Chain A
Amino acid sequence: GESVGLHLPTLSVQEGDNSIINCAYSNSASDYFIWYKQESGKGPQFIIDIRSNMDKRQGQRVTVLLNKTVKHLSLQIAATQPGDSAVYFCAEGQAGTALIFGKGTTLSVSS
């Protein structure tokens, strides 16, 4: 079946570096994509979303890029901080259906 997945299960970076977390999706009919951050013992927290008719969206220290040609989504975190350490999920959605989550990438930031 169609699903959303992430390329790498773990990513380790140094404090201050830029981080790039990738996600491949297979459902070309998805209307929007969302990145969530999940800290240990907590529920997922919304970071940023992007609609399928866009290819880039920027937030505070985060940028999401969408490449529909290769069905690829990425989350860029600028000047990564220890507080960014968490599991990051991409999720895809269509009007009328529930969000489908990928498996997650664990980001570890060392100072």
Chain B
Amino acid sequence: GAGVSQSPRYKVAKRGQDVALRCDPISGHVSLFWYQQALGQGPEFLTYFQNEAQLDKSGLPSDRFFAERPEGSVSTLKIQRTQQEDSAVYLCASSLALSGTGAEKLFFGSGTQLSVL
């Protein structure tokens, strides 16, 4: 594909509902990142995968957040029992390089805008 694809583009959830956000990275990209972006703020790191291995999940705000990338390609970010404070844009990014080599050029998707009512 031409770029990182995220779906759905918009998601409205009732408080307490579970949601699943999908990310299709650029084909062949080894690294995949999830970021959360609150309105008017910069993206904040949630978690990182290198192929199928989740190497860093230190940014996940609670155990209600779970991410997976079982085959080292598509990734899903799941949020259980959503709360109003989970409302944000969830951005996925992929990179050809292995994290740790420095200055990876991250390619971002357009994000999923989650609104929890």
Contacts and interface: CB of A to CB of B under 8 A. Distances in A.
Contacts of B105: 46, 49
A51 B42 CA distance: 21
Nearest to B48: A98
A62 interface: no
Secondary structure class of chain A's binding surface, majority of residues: loop
B33 A43 contact: no
Contacts of A100: 45
A46 B44 CA distance: 16
Interface of B: 4, 33, 35, 40-45, 48, 56, 59, 91, 93, 99-111
A93 B44 contact: no
Interface in A5-46: 31-32, 34, 41-46
Interface stretch (A63-71, A73-81, A101-109): A101-109
Contacts of B33: 98-99
Secondary structure class of chain B's binding surface, majority of residues: loop
Contacts, number: 62
B22 to A, nearest CB: 15
A8 to B, nearest CB: 14
Nearest to B6: A43
A5 B93 CA distance: 21
A60 B59 CA distance: 34
A41 B39 CA distance: 11
A102 B108 CA distance: 16
A99 B45 contact: yes
A43 B108 contact: yes
26 contacts: A32-B102, A34-B103, A41-B110, A42-B110, A42-B111, A43-B93, A43-B108, A43-B111, A46-B105, A49-B105, A51-B102, A89-B42, A89-B43, A91-B42, A93-B104, A94-B102, A95-B102, A96-B99, A97-B99, A98-B33, A98-B59, A98-B99, A99-B33, A99-B106, A103-B41, A103-B42
